[in-house]
Structure 1
Amino acid sequence: MNPFQSLVGRLLVAMPGIGDPRFEHAVILVCVHEPEHAMGLRLDQPTPAVDLKSVLSKLDIPAPDSAIGRPVMAGGPVDRERGFVLHTDDWMSADASLPFAEGLAMTATKDALLAMTDAVAGPRRSVLHLGYAGWGEGQLEEELGDNVWLTADPDLDVIFDRDHDTKWSRALKGLGVDAAWLSSQSGRA
């Protein structure tokens, strides 16, 4: 049996035919991966008709014009009302930020939302995610064994840029894989 290998900070790139329509062409950043569970944020699915300004307004937080049209991502199907700010680690909340990979952190507090709108004191790059993708004990490892995910090194542009339609193909390209080469059939050799 292989010893546990954490995938924290790695990208999960869905294979065609993953078998779960919620994750077709998904790119997920793994934020927590322990033997008991794993948690990640989907990077390529903006929440329809929701922008950062609307979320801030709903929380009675003053929103600058720069928040208008700024996408809010559907982080995954679990706990979709809960917000997670994924950001560079040049801004941190001493009590609330979770640094999890080189240069990356996650914070789930209102001060992180305020920091997102502060061009001077806030993080260099940030994005709000509603919900997350979660796996129970051994579930992610089983899915990896069934070849439904490829793993890739993190890429800050794939993580933070707004070109959501190409994130999946760019993550594959970073692995040297052309999406056109992939089959929707999975299995083990």
Structure 2
Amino acid sequence: MTDPTYLNNQFLIAMPMLADPNFFQTVTYISEHNASGALGLVINRPLSLTLGQLLDHLQITTDQSELAALPIYHGGPVQPEQGFVLHSPVGHWEATLRITDHLGITTSRDILHAVAHGKGPQQLLVTLGYAGWGPGQLERELAENTWLSSPADPTILFHTRSDRRWLAAAALLGIDLNLLSADAGHA
């Protein structure tokens, strides 16, 4: 038996037939995937909440109007009250999962204080909640053709409009999801 292929630093792209409302037409950034399961952040589901509103709620003041206008994303159905900051560069924060030499996910407030004062990472995406899979669950879903996977692209993460990320992530693989039927079957 060969070792499983893990999808760290990959996009998980929902196939058109995936009807689960949590993941319909989503792109999930997989930050951690191993024998214990997987963790990812949905990167194309903006909430009706901005970073400025979140900072106000946390009683953190900012005069960074461009940053304050950034959308907060629904990162997934697990722990929707927990904030996650996907960012580049990685930097040195109290609670950071280093994914690559350039990307990290931080859950501590210190990064939000730095961002509010113009001293945070140059690129960031903030989510509430995350997507999680138990041992073997993601592998089964991949075998059932529920998802496509591709290497993550920072341009899509940080510079592509959220409503274009699903199609853009699939385009990395040369696939136009508009041409796939939601009624696809298995041969």
State the TM bucket, normalised to the shorter chain.
over 0.9
CA contact (8 A) 2:112 2:120 kept: no
**Coordinate RMSD, CA, aligned:** 1.6
Cα deviations across residues 33-86 of structure 1 (Å, max 9, x unaligned)? 1111110000101112x1111111111111224243211111011110000011
Q: Distance in 1 between the 2:181 and 2:70 partners?
A: 34
CA distance in 2 between counterparts of 1:126 and 1:43 reads: 11
Residue in 2 aligned with 1:63? 62
* Letter of the structure 2 residue corresponding to residue 165 of structure 1: D
Structure 1 residue runs of 5 or longer lacking an equivalent are: none
CA offsets 1:9-53 (integer angstroms, 9 cap, x no match): 0000000011312211100000111111110000101112x1111
1:41–1:130 Cα change, 3 Å: same
Check whether the contact 2:90–2:104 (CA below 8 A) recurs between aligned residues. Answer: no
- TM-score under structure 2 length normalisation: 0.92
Paired with 1:61 and 1:9, the residues of 2 have a C-alpha distance of 30
Shift of 1:185: 3.4
Report how far residue 90 of structure 1 moved: 4.6
Match for residue 137 of structure 2? 139
Q: Identify the match of residue 181 of structure 1 among 172, 179, 182.
A: 179
Alignment correspondent of 2:28: 28
Alignment check: 8 A CA contact 1:116 1:126 kept: no
Q: Deviations over 1:82-105 (max 9, x none)?
A: 000110135221x42111134110
Distance across 1 between alignment mates of 2:6 and 2:184: 23
Identity within the alignment, %: 37
Q: Which residue of 1 aligns with 2:81?
A: 81
Q: Give the Cα separation in 1 of the matches to 2:56 and 2:76.
A: 23
Looking at structure 2, the residues matched to 80 and 184 of structure 1 have their Cα atoms a distance apart, in angstroms, of 28
Equivalent of 1:122 in 116, 120, 123: 120
CA distance in 1, matches of 2:92, 2:185: 42
Aligned 8 A contact 2:64 2:116 in 1 = no
1:158 aligned partner: 156
Q: What one-letter code is carried by the residue in structure 2 that aligns with 1:142? A: R
Structure 1 CA distance, aligned partners of 2:140 and 2:120? 38
Q: Is the 8 A contact 1:88 1:123 kept in 2?
A: yes
SS in 2 for 1:54: helix
TM-score by length of 1: 0.91
- Give the deviation of 1:174 after TM superposition: 1.1
Partner of residue 11, structure 2: 11
Given the superposition, is the C-alpha separation of residues 170 and 53 from structure 1 closer, same or farther in structure 2, using an over 3 Å criterion? Answer: same
Gaps of 5+ in 2: none
